[in-house]
């Protein structure tokens, strides 16, 4: 077989002839000349063989006289299996009728037995070349169809552009990206659709990444453009919209930065709260000892007031870092706002109109009432400062589903839905850059000395620690809206009022073990309790406390322990102590409660806790409250 196909794989040939001798002869001739023959002596046998072949036969040699069926029927059914098979009729009973029927079934040739091998091979050569050509054409059509499918369904925008820069074609993703229909894109200069496309050059990978607004829009998009030569005079531009990816990257970086700042803030607050506890407590003790007419009393009062202000700042740091202990209970946000409304009107001034719309009925939320007040006040102050020339402040509450976030993704809502608190102003608004930093502690756009930069950071921390989410929408000179979503409880109604604390300083005669690694605070606690009549034992950490308890023969009524200490912290101490002194009650105290401590159950709703900084009176009252509480099963 001498042709351009000499180097190609052997062509599969099906031979259907009822003469076994003829079948063997033709098979041998074809095999010696580079074909891959397979034969059958019946029509059904030939059809079954063709169906089992890995590839449909390129050529079929079919005898017209077969024992089980007409040869022309075999030809028709072969064409049903594959339209690419070239059929050559081989018969010893030639007739005009059979030749016409073979022609109707699109047979390639009609040979009459006996046929010379050279003539047979020449016919098969031509039929093979025709089969090869048609298969190549079919393969090209299939390839083109696959390309069309890819072109239509690929997520990147594709533009086919000539050397003049005119769009010849575009895929559906390109129409979605640009907002133009395909008919509008065709014959349009690509530079009119992608204004920065001229920055793309064929200098290596041909890539250009930039931030630009698409034609006809004002929204900046981050686009990755690649250009590749597709054919002479034709390029394909691949445009990938990286806007959402870049936004996710920025949000992740922002989240990591906020976590890092929160860790720092929480650590600073922890150490500072120990100092403030000492300052506040000794100030209160001094004020109790100094007469009202003593000129030194005012000095001590200033120290006490400064310590209170410092404590408020550390409280904001802890709220931001989400490490503040929250005294939560079911409460209605409406109750909080109603209680604050008069104060808010004084706070924002007469040139700002306060408009309040409270949803009714409103689901309860599980939150700390004092911290909810702080959220509302901080947002109101922020709104007031954004309206120096007056404006409107809208406060709205409602039951609400949690809407999609800034990326359009819908978060999973709580089982009972959410309660929304919206605080909106008509002020100067914020740029996108400011919005990205607005919840960072100490970040402020106010003049030096006009703000601490902790107001919105505190809001963020309180809401997040309460299981809620903050959504911000703002435009320069278009006002700002903060929408806060708290998980709702199962029913609507009014919240329970807080139980007022007894203001009297209580006394007692029980034995209290104080475990605190800070020497000043340890000494202060001992002085406060001893002056109130208690018997006080002191230890610097858990290990020392256990050793003291092992050698102490009397009853220990209460252990007041710091949560985080070297060698052994508060929780392991209490667990060990419970093995030998199950009657001893527990009061934890800390200026910093991290997530690990929360998971380990220090604040499990059954264990008493006092947040640092505290005053001497607050500490004495808390000790008395814990001692007076009846023991509950499963508590220490």
Q: What is the CATH number of the domain that holds 522?
A: 3.40.50.2300
Q: Which residue has the higher pLDDT, 326 or 539?
A: 539
Domain hosting 336: range is 329-492
The mean-pLDDT minimum among 56-65, 108-117, 245-254, 448-457 falls in 448-457
DSSP class of 217: -
Helix intervals (H) in 106-224? 117-153, 172-178, 182-185, 190-193
Q: What is the CATH number of the domain that holds 459?
A: 3.30.565.10
Q: Which residue has the higher pLDDT, 42 or 493?
A: 42
Q: Please tell me the distance from the alpha carbon of residue 549 to that of residue 541, in angstroms, as a whole number.
A: 12
pTM score, whole prediction: 0.42
Which of 321, 338, 369 marks a domain boundary?
Answer: 321
Q: Is 291 inside a domain boundary?
A: yes
pLDDT tens, 387-398? 989 999 999 999
| Same domain membership, residue 113 and residue 27 | yes
Which residue, among 2, 14, 11, 17, has the nearest Cα to 114 in the 3D structure? 17
Give the helix, strand, coil percentages of the chain, each rounded to 5.
45, 20, 35
| Same domain membership, residue 84 and residue 134 | yes
Q: Would you call 424 helix, strand, or coil by DSSP?
A: strand
Question: Per-residue pLDDT for 500 more than 50?
Answer: no
How many helices (H) does the chain have, and how many strands (E)?
A: 19, 22
Q: Is 594 inside a domain boundary?
A: yes
pLDDT at 102: 74
| Same domain membership, residue 187 and residue 82 | no
| Same domain membership, residue 386 and residue 466 | yes
Distance separating the N- and C-terminal Cα atoms of the chain: 98
| Same domain membership, residue 256 and residue 235 | no
Most confident of 90-94, 148-152, 470-474: 470-474
Q: What is the CATH number of the domain that holds 297?
A: 1.10.287.130
Question: Per-residue pLDDT for 591 more than 80?
Answer: no
Which residue, among 218, 224, 228, has the nearest Cα to 241 in the 3D structure? 224
Q: Is 296 inside a domain boundary?
A: yes
Q: Which residue has the higher pLDDT, 476 or 492?
A: 476
pLDDT tens, 118-140? 888 888 888 888 877 877 777 67
| Same domain membership, residue 336 and residue 389 | yes
pLDDT at 599: 43
pLDDT at 539: 93
Which residue, among 302, 287, 374, has the nearest Cα to 337 in the 3D structure? 374
The mean-pLDDT minimum among 50-64, 376-390, 528-542 falls in 50-64
pLDDT tens, 145-185? 666 776 777 788 888 888 888 988 888 888 888 888 888 88
Q: Please tell me the distance from the alpha carbon of residue 12 to that of residue 82, in angstroms, as a whole number.
A: 13
Which of 88, 116, 149 marks a domain boundary?
Answer: 149
Give residue for tokens 């590839």. 55
Structure tokens belonging to residue 371: 């911290």
| Same domain membership, residue 481 and residue 345 | yes
Q: Is 220 inside a domain boundary?
A: yes
Which residue, among 632, 555, 563, has the nearest Cα to 601 in the 3D structure? 563
Question: Per-residue pLDDT for 5 more than 60?
Answer: no
pLDDT at 6: 47
CA atoms within 13 A on the CB side of 499: 4
Most confident of 180-184, 204-208, 234-238, 386-390: 386-390
| Same domain membership, residue 224 and residue 195 | yes
Q: Is 141 inside a domain boundary?
A: yes
Most confident of 153-162, 508-517, 599-608: 508-517
Q: Which residue has the higher pLDDT, 469 or 215?
A: 469
Q: Is 2 inside a domain boundary?
A: no
Question: Per-residue pLDDT for 303 more than 70?
Answer: yes
Give residue for tokens 């393969």. 139
For residue 601, what is the enclosing H or E element?
Answer: none
The answer to whether 488 and 533 are in contact (CB under 8 A) is no
Question: Per-residue pLDDT for 456 more than 90?
Answer: no
Q: Is 36 inside a domain boundary?
A: yes
Average pLDDT taken over every residue of the chain: 79
pLDDT at 485: 93
For residue 506, what is the enclosing H or E element?
Answer: none
pLDDT tens, 525-568? 898 899 889 999 999 999 999 999 999 999 999 999 988 888 88
Whether the ω angle into residue 361 lies within 30 degrees of 0, i.e. cis, is: yes
Q: Which residue has the higher pLDDT, 335 or 281?
A: 335
Q: What is the CATH number of the domain that holds 167?
A: 3.30.450.20
Q: Please tell me the distance from the alpha carbon of residue 496 to that of residue 433, in angstroms, as a whole number.
A: 42
Q: Which residue has the higher pLDDT, 310 or 348?
A: 348
pLDDT at 7: 56
| Same domain membership, residue 70 and residue 103 | yes
Give residue for tokens 């992740």. 252
pLDDT at 200: 45
The answer to whether 397 and 333 are in contact (CB under 8 A) is yes
Q: Is 31 inside a domain boundary?
A: yes
| Same domain membership, residue 233 and residue 163 | yes
The mean-pLDDT minimum among 194-198, 551-555, 577-581 falls in 194-198
Percentage of residues of the chain with pLDDT beyond 90? 14
| Same domain membership, residue 435 and residue 547 | no
The mean per-residue pLDDT over the stretch 576-592 comes to 86
Which of 149, 180, 202 marks a domain boundary?
Answer: 149
Contacts of the segment 199-206: beta carbons below 8 A, 24+ positions apart: 200/225, 200/226, 200/227, 200/237, 202/227, 202/229
| Same domain membership, residue 484 and residue 517 | no
Please state, as a whole number, how many other Cβ atoms lie within 10 Å of the Cβ of residue 375: 30
pLDDT at 495: 44
Domain tally for the chain?
5
CA atoms within 13 A on the CB side of 314: 26
The mean per-residue pLDDT over the stretch 34-45 comes to 89
The answer to whether 286 and 533 are in contact (CB under 8 A) is no
Confidence band, pLDDT 50/70/90 cuts, at residue 214: low
| Strand 109-112 with 329-331, pairing | unpaired
Question: Per-residue pLDDT for 490 more than 90?
Answer: no
Please state, as a whole number, how many other Cβ atoms lie within 10 Å of the Cβ of residue 305: 11
For residue 408, what is the enclosing H or E element?
Answer: none
pLDDT at 205: 46
pLDDT at 213: 53
Question: Per-residue pLDDT for 335 more than 80?
Answer: yes
The mean per-residue pLDDT over the stretch 512-520 comes to 91
């Amino acid at each position: 077989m001498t042709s351009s196909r000499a180097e190609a794989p052997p062509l599969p040939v099906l031979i259907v002839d009822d003469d076994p001798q003829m079948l063997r002869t033709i098979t041998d001739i074809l095999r010696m000349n580079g074909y891959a023959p397979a034969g059958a002596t019946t029509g059904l046998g030939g059809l079954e063989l063709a169906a089992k072949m890995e590839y449909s036969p390129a050529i079929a040699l079919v005898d017209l006289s077969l024992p089980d069926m007409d040869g022309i029927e075999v030809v028709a059914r072969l064409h049903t299996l594959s339209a690419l098979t070239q059929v050559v009729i081989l018969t010893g009973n030639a007739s005009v009728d059979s030749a016409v029927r073979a022609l109707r079934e699109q047979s390639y040739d009609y040979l009459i037995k006996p046929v010379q091998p050279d003539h047979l091979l020449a016919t098969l050569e031509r039929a093979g070349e025709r089969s090869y050509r048609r298969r190549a054409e079919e393969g090209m059509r299939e390839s083109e169809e696959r390309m069309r499918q890819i072109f239509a369904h690929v997520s990147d925008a594709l533009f086919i552009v000539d050397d003049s820069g005119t769009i010849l074609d575009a895929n559906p993703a390109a129409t979605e990206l640009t907002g133009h229909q395909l008919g509008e894109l065709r014959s349009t200069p690509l530079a009119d659709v992608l204004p920065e496309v001229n920055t793309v050059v064929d200098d290596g990978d041909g890539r250009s990444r930039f931030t630009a607004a698409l034609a006809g829009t004002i929204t900046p998009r981050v686009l990755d453009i690649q250009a590749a030569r597709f054919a002479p005079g034709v390029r394909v531009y691949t445009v990938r919209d990286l806007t959402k990816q870049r936004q996710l990257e920025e949000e992740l970086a922002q989240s990591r930065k906020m976590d890092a700042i929160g860790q720092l803030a929480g650590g600073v607050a922890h150490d500072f709260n120990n100092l403030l506890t000492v300052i506040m407590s000794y100030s209160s003790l001094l004020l109790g000892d100094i007469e009202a007419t003593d000129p030194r009393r005012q000095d001590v009062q200033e120290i006490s007031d400064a310590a209170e202000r410092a404590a408020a700042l550390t409280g904001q740091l802890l709220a931001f870092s989400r490490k503040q202990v929250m005294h939560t209970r079911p409460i209605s946000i409406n109750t909080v706002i109603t209680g604050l409304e008069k104060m808010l009107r004084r706070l924002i001034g007469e040139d700002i109109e306060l408009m309040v719309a409270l949803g009714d009925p409103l689901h309860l939320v599980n939150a700390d009432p004092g911290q909810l007040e702080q959220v509302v006040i901080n947002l109101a102050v922020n709104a007031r400062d954004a309206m120096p020339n007056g404006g409107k402040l809208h406060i709205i509450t409602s039951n609400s589903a949690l809407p999609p976030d800034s990326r359009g993704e819908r978060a999973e809502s709580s089982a009972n839905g959410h309660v929304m608190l919206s605080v909106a102003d008509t002020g100067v608004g914020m740029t996108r850059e400011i919005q990205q930093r607005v919840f960072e502690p100490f970040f402020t756009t106010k003049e030096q000395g006009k703000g601490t930069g902790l107001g919105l950071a505190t809001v963020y921390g309180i809401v997040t620690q309460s299981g809620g989410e903050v959504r911000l929408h703002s435009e320069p000179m278009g006002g700002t809206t903060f929408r806060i979503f708290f998980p709702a409880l199962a029913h609507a109604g009014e919240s329970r009022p807080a139980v007022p604390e007894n203001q009297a300083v209580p006394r007692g005669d029980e034995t209290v073990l104080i475990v605190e690694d800070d020497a000043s605070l340890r000494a202060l606690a001992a002085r406060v309790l001893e002056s109130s009549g208690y018997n006080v034992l002191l230890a610097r950490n858990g290990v020392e406390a256990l050793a003291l308890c092992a050698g102490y023969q009397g009853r220990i009524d209460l252990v007041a322990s710091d949560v985080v200490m070297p060698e052994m912290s508060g929780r392991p101490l209490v667990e060990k102590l419970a093995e030998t002194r199950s009657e001893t009650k527990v009061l934890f105290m800390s200026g910093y409660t991290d997530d690990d401590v929360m998971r380990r159950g220090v604040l499990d709703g059954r264990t008493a806790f006092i947040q640092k900084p505290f005053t001497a009176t607050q500490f004495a009252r808390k000790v008395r409250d814990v001692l007076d509480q009846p023991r509950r099963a499963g508590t220490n």
